[in-house]
Amino acid sequence: MARLSESGLPIEPVYGPAAQEGWDPATELGEPGRFPFTRGVYPTMYTGKPWTMRQYAGFGTAAESNGRYQQLIANGTMGLSVAFDLPTQMGYDSDAAIAHGEVGKVGVAIDSVEDMGVLFGGIPLGEVSTSMTINAPASLLLLLYQLVGEAQGVPSARLTGTIQNDVLKEYIARGTYIFPPKPSLRLIADIFRYCRAEIPRWNTISISGYHMAEAGATPAQEIAFTLANGIEYVRTALAAGMDVDDFAPRLSFFFVSRTTILEEVAKFRAARRIWARVMKEEFKAENPRSMMLRFHTQTAGVQLTAQQPEVNLVRVSIQALAAVLGGTQSLHTNSFDEAIALPTEKSARLALRTQQVLAYESDVTATVDPFAGSYVVERLTDEVEAAALELMARIEEMGGAVAGIERGYQKSEIERSAYQVALQTDSGERTVVGVNRFQLDEEEPYAPLRVDPAIERQQAERLAKLRADRDNAAVDRALSALRRAAETADENVLYPMKEALAARATVGETCDALRQVWGTYVPVDSF
């Protein structure tokens, strides 16, 4: 049924030329929910229900982060999104020398199954969807989540959520890698197989362009390099003996949304179209869900400014609107104070309220794909698609995404783009409000949220108690079994890994067992 406008006029769920005589969906724009999904992956999109509203959060201890999650749930967030601190992301325990000064700083410190239990205490894992921004040690955090679910009495088949698990973009743009590419890809294939058998509703990877965009990638580079990585993951799974339609429906993606609304909408449309055709034509997928590019969006952190931080509220609103008009499946809106410090409770609530205003007060959810047929958006979609395909072809000529990474190609291209933006900003050719135009003589004081440095000592004390209380012989046996599995070519390492974590092996100890077998990645110079 059509929704009425403020003037009482009907807003139809879908607009387009379908009713015109002679219309051919094979050559025209097509319909929402139909191949090649240019207009969206679902036929009704937000007219039935809005996107999933997630707020990325995590800081300090598991108990502190749990408190923030409880606040977000009370304020209407639809799914949790976990930020881990750098030691956790790199597979180190909080008491490791290399972790000094970073414990709990940019995310929550998770060292063991006990920390994971505290993080989700009082949160029913059978009812909430959880996204975890974790890559190199994604398998560990997924298994810890499963163990907490089991402790709650939740069958693993009911667990829903996503692990980012995209290590290739770590080599390109972000840097929180552990192992070299070959064993990292083997681990990802093991996760695909494990989840299909044990956690079937879990999204096993979120192939991410966000971090490449934050490092300076253009919209065309963002989708080109992301989809090239996606192709590498598909090939890895196929080489491991999996059928494309067994794992491809659980693939998902993660993109940025900038303030440039028109190009961002075109970018999302182009990405859907390219991926659908790649999956159908190159990989011969038959299940339509294997061809759907479902994606999460986060507003552009790199565009936030420490100067006049309240202006970021406007930026985030525009970026969120671009994501919604582009057809995102879930969305995180950055808090206005993130260029200064961790978000406060109030700023995190305002970020969530931004999404709620878009969903419930605006009319962008009244119709599917509001920009369909726009001359400028359709032209930009074609042009972004062509530019992305050209970049993807170059990567294919090199031998694929891993070969490009080994030559430093993607990294160097992103660095060139970032340098151009810096030059334009410095010269004033590109306006950044409050930074190079419309400045204030004196900034207003702001009291940011700070992490207590005592957290590092507290986590070290928790680890000491854990190691004193557990059965260390059982831990050693479990870690030995994990190392033996890693030395083979065909054993799924997640099963012995789960046994080790259940025996209360720590994140650092488990990653160290794999480091002993697989080694660590040493980056190459740019191309």
If pLDDT is split at 50, 70 and 90, which confidence band does 78 have? confident
Taking 70 as the threshold, does the pLDDT of residue 375 lie above it? yes
459 by Cβ neighbours in 10 Å (0-12 / 13-18 / 19+) ranks as buried
472 and 355 part of one domain = no
362 and 462 part of one domain = no
358 and 418 part of one domain = yes
Residue 380 in any domain: the answer is yes
Summarize pLDDT for 30-55 with one digit per residue, the tens. 899 999 999 999 999 999 999 999 98
* % of the chain at pLDDT higher than 90: 91
The pTM score is 0.93
311 and 413 part of one domain = yes
397 and 472 part of one domain = no
Burial 168-202 (b: 16+ CB within 10 A, else e): bbbbbbbebbbbbbebbbbbbbbbbbbbeebbeeb
292 and 202 part of one domain = yes
Residue 441 in any domain: the answer is no
Taking 90 as the threshold, does the pLDDT of residue 449 lie above it? no
Q: What's the structural domain count of the chain?
A: 2
Summarize pLDDT for 205-231 with one digit per residue, the tens. 999 999 999 999 999 999 999 999 999
Q: What is the pLDDT of residue 24?
A: 52
Q: Strands of 26-185 (E only): list them.
A: 52-57, 79-83, 129-133, 160-163
Report the candidate in 68, 69, 107, 57 with the shortest Cα–Cα distance to residue 87.
107
Domain finish residue from 383, 411, 427? 427
Report the candidate in 316, 321, 308, 319 with the shortest Cα–Cα distance to residue 351.
316
Mean pLDDT of 464-489: 98
459 and 423 part of one domain = no
413 and 478 part of one domain = no
CATH number at residue 373: 3.20.20.240
**Which residues is 299 bridged to in the sheet?**
257
Q: What is the pLDDT of residue 17?
A: 72
415 and 320 part of one domain = yes
Domain holding 468, by residue range, is: 454-518
